[in-house]
Structure 1
Amino acid sequence: MTDVLRQAIVTLDLKPGEIIDKGVICERLGVSRFPVSEALARLQAEGLVDILPQRGSTVSLVRIADVLEYMLIRKALEAEAVRVVTGNHSEELTETLRRNMSYQRAAVDIDDQMGLHERDLEFHDIIFGDMRFTKVKGVIENTRANLDRARRLILTPRRLEVTIGEHQRILDGIVSGDAQRAAAAMRAHIDSVMAELIAFARDNSHLFADGQLLQDDSDYATFPFG
């Protein structure tokens, strides 16, 4: 139940600020109210749901401040991860990444935004999988839900094409054995996504819990680019 509702929130089937109707969910999934209430409590702890006494539950608005922090964590970990695997990777890794890239291009060709998003996540997971550092991957997983729904807000045909190019530069760095080049490409990729998210948040502040701060303080959504 928790996974089903989390997926609906992350994929924006349940949108930021939307009221969650327990009755509708119970009827649709054929369950009682108890497991739904239990799932919502778990999602509240993850920052995906707001539960207001006597007023019901709503999908949490995205906090750009949280996104900034999560993306900084990812930037540090993923740049280091790609540096570690470069020059010390198997042929299987490069072949798996190349295959993933072909799937990404196929998704772009048919404008499959959700498909590309899934292959995007897989691209990064492949790199972490090669390290076999489960704790590092666990940290990334813990930041993913709120990041994923924020990133889905900026899925456009232009962003899809840009992502393909950024991933290709990361792969090129790995294949060439140039750790600094690969790490720089990963940092540039995350910087690019973050810059677009900040711009989107400024133009669509109503979707964000701290949207007014975005409007009032030009320095609120600062991010260490570079």
Structure 2
Amino acid sequence: MSTAQYIYSEIENDILMLKLKPGQLISENSLCTRYNVSRTPIRSVLSRLAGSGLVDIVPKSGSRVSMINMEIVKQIIYERFALECMVMKDYIAIATEGDIKKLEKTVTQLTKSYKNTKYFKPDKFKAIDLSMHELWYKKTGHTYLWEQIRKSESNYTRFCMLDMLECKNYEHVIIEHRQMYEVIKNRDTSKIEEIVKKHLYGGIERINAAFSNKFDEMFIAY
């Protein structure tokens, strides 16, 4: 991995994991010192991050972490609800017992990662969460759709991390993944919409209910 790619990956992760907050100014000097490089690679990295929607470069003012666009988040959730319901139904129709065992393993890993408080890492928890969804997208041949979902990181991933870190939604996520697993295991398509809707829209309800205007400064105002 090149130095520029390493720096890009580190800053990208800091933004997605909310170590760098939406709206926060990014100091080129601090980054140069942190990575012991000149301004040229730092500016190149910031330009790439801007292209990914994670950074806003303001002429004569510098760079700052982009705000979260809540309208985009809502549309991504709407899209995912429609896709997820269809993909789960397709998955149930073709899943083997071995496939279902793999799903069960992800639920077990998710639960253990949360209970192991000494080594708990939110980013690891999120990765296990996503791995369950990825299994049924890949099994049904919808890899391209999954890749497109994963490209929505600048808004949706940060919204999910805000829900996770501030609302402490870990137990909700575990319960909902267990419910989705049970639906698939029992091949009961009648409950898919209810469970998927609860899983995808829960974050909006939690943030609205628990924090009111506390995080307004992180979102684009409309």
In the TM superposition, what whole-angstrom CA distance separates every residue of 1:102-126 from its partner, at most 9, and x where no partner exists? Answer: 1111122134251322211222112
Indicate if the aligned counterparts of 1:83 and 1:180 stay in contact, CA closer than 8 A. Answer: no
In the TM superposition, what whole-angstrom CA distance separates every residue of 1:161-209 from its partner, at most 9, and x where no partner exists? Answer: 1111111111111111122323432222112223224445733212212
Residue equivalent to 2:155: 146
Gaps of 5+ in 1: 214-226
Q: Indicate which of 21, 25, 44 corresponds to 1:38.
A: 44
Distance 1:116 1:157, change over 3 A: farther
Distance 2:92 2:125 in 1: 24
Matches within 5 A, 1:118-197: 118-155=127-164, 159-197=169-207
Tell me the TM-score normalized by structure 1.
0.84
1:206 paired with 2:212, answer no
In the TM superposition, what whole-angstrom CA distance separates every residue of 1:85-134 from its partner, at most 9, and x where no partner exists? Answer: 01311223211111111111112213425132221122211221222222
Gaps of 5+ in 2: none
**Percent sequence identity over matched residues?**
24
> Match of 2:159, as an amino acid?
A
Distance 1:88 1:172 in 2: 16
Tell me the TM-score normalized by structure 2.
0.85
List 4+ stretches of structure 1 deviating above 3 A. Answer: 197-202
Indicate if the aligned counterparts of 2:68 and 2:218 stay in contact, CA closer than 8 A. Answer: yes
Q: Indicate which of 7, 12, 19 corresponds to 1:6.
A: 12
Indicate if the aligned counterparts of 1:50 and 1:60 stay in contact, CA closer than 8 A. Answer: yes
Task: Give how far 1:19 is off.
Answer: 1.0
The residue matched to 1:177 in structure 2 has which SS? coil
Distance 1:176 1:69, change over 3 A: same
Aligned positions, number: 211
